[in-house]
Amino acid sequence: MGAQQCGGYGSGFALIVVLFILLIIIGASWGYGGY
C-alpha cells in the first residue's frame, strides 16, 4: 500500500476532493438562488 500511493490512494483522494468541491459549488449556488 505504501508503494502504490500514486495509483489507488491518489485516485480515491482526487474523487473525494472533486465531490467536495462540487458540493460546495452546488451549496453556494443553491444558497444564493442559483444561476
Model confidence over 4-23: pLDDT tens digits?
Answer: 555 566 678 888 999 999 99
* Pair 35, 29: CB distance under 8 Å: yes
Query: What domain count does the chain have?
Result: 1
Nearest alpha carbon to residue 20 among 12, 7, 3: 12
Residue 22 lies in a domain: yes
Structural domain range at position 31 = 8-35
For the whole model, what pTM was predicted? 0.52
Residue 26 lies in a domain: yes
Residue 13 lies in a domain: yes
Q: What angle do CA 21, 27, 29 make, to 5 degrees?
A: 105
Residue 1 lies in a domain: no
pLDDT band, very low/low/confident/very high, at 1 (cuts 50, 70, 90): very low
Residue 24 lies in a domain: yes
- What is the reported pLDDT for 30? 78
Residue 2 lies in a domain: no
